A and B are shown apart, each in its own frame.
Chain A
């Protein structure tokens, strides 16, 4: 599903964010990406969602060579992947319902289909009763669930979550984890989750990839947070 071949990314200011990364993630996998700040996690996500182009190597997601996409084709590619951000990025002047519907409007679905799909999603992320609320009226956990709802609304094959629990307390984090696992199992969505949260990784053991200074320093199938000092 996701394939990185000898991928390097350096920036004009001389920072080498990723160095010769090789990675293969199968369809339906749930993978953690861990590593300290500045280890290249964000760069990896940006390469995957087409925001950045690798300096060297090949990034292939769902049979698409992401680095070779033309500018105008990037949006079409993004319809295959959902991205969840730490800071939620919900539109403040739209309700939860409208925020999720927005993602479907953008890809041109008709009203009836949108309404049906949004209801399904709201049920999946347990926000049925918050459909008419605005993001500011929701707790952090609820906002994050809405964001996840928006990301999976158009049934992406890959879901990338960038520190989805970064702003949440442990209890709410566990809630989000449960939701992501549900999506992973029920919809067979490949999930890539970037996180700092060692407790979470230890509690819900999955394949874990550790990045450090742009290198993959560990790739453990059985999972668990790698502590290094």
Chain B
């Protein structure tokens, strides 16, 4: 361990030398990392906001259950326990027909003002049900419709659920895309490091001859990979930091309609920047580790 720390300055020096000596290949790897991280950043901004959108929509996303007019008092209570037994239900709220009418009157007094509460009320008692996930909303609604004592159960409609599954698909597709790009970046970095290794093969040979451990040989290259990762992260970090802030201001914090409220700039961009930097370093380390280990393996 002491051996390790003592040798760190030497390793850092040779890592910097490595990047400088192969500035052309290093540059190509750095650009690859930059491109990957920029796309990763876009993906994360997209995902972060989509998650927020979905959460917003989901909060409006409730099943409206009209209770059969014949049901009263105790029947309604037992109906509630039965509904609660259905899987995927988060909350259930009872609202009497008078409450319902009052709500409508508030929203639109011109039309509904003429209706009166009591026996002449045309509304029905309702349950307002929230599901644990948007995916289960359809099956829950279906089960409710089959239940006795329920006139009708309905939710926001297919449009919303289609949108939610579209968001989901977008998120998953983006994830696959970003992973593929990261692999490409790892490959390019490992190629760059390979150049450095060839240029320094005599030195590595001598190091091994005088008893340098595998880790001693590896560390400078891994540090070099980390440098490439960090250098590649600089541009994406700047773009993310200022770009998202600008976008947020331009869009006034919402996307198209107030239904899609964007994620606040802070701490959202900090999180993304941190993840980007981490990914850059990780990708650099993995790439160079692979290259050196491969080289070491066939040299005893």
Interface residues of A, Cβ cutoff 8 Å to B: 49-53, 71-72, 74-79, 83, 89, 91, 102-103, 105-108, 110, 150-151, 153-154
- CB of A228 to closest CB in B, whole Å: 33
Rounded to whole angstroms, the CA-CA distance of A144 and B231 in the bound complex is 42
Across the interface, B300 reaches (CB within 8 A) one of A50, A103, A106, A151, namely A50
Which of A49, A108, A154 counts the most B-chain CB atoms under 10 A from its CB? A108
Given known pairs A78-B208, A103-B210, A108-B7, the reply for A91 and B203 (CB within 8 Å) is yes
Interface residues of B, Cβ cutoff 8 Å to A: 2-4, 6-7, 10, 202-203, 205-214, 216, 296-297, 300
Rounded to whole angstroms, the CA-CA distance of A110 and B9 in the bound complex is 13
Q: Report yes or no: A76 in contact with B2, Cβ–Cβ below 8 A.
A: no
Given known pairs A71-B297, A75-B214, the reply for A106 and B205 (CB within 8 Å) is no
Rounded to whole angstroms, the CA-CA distance of A150 and B296 in the bound complex is 23
Nearest-CB residue, chain A, relative to B215 = A72
Given known pairs A49-B209, A106-B211, the reply for A74 and B10 (CB within 8 Å) is no
Interface of B is mostly: helix
**Across the interface, which residues of B come within 8 angstroms of A77, CB to CB?**
211
Q: Report yes or no: B300 in contact with A51, Cβ–Cβ below 8 A.
A: yes
CB contacts between A and B, total, < 8 Å = 64
Instruction: List 8 extra interface pairs beyond A71-B300, A77-B211, A89-B205, CB under 8 A.
Output: A53-B300, A75-B211, A75-B216, A76-B213, A91-B206, A108-B4, A108-B6, A153-B210
**Across the interface, which residues of B come within 8 angstroms of A71, CB to CB?**
214, 296-297, 300
**Across the interface, which residues of A come within 8 angstroms of B205, CB to CB?**
89
Rounded to whole angstroms, the CA-CA distance of A43 and B7 in the bound complex is 33
Given known pairs A50-B300, A74-B300, A89-B202, the reply for A108 and B211 (CB within 8 Å) is no
Across the interface, A106 reaches (CB within 8 A) one of B202, B212, B296, namely B212
Q: Report yes or no: B214 in contact with A150, Cβ–Cβ below 8 A.
A: no
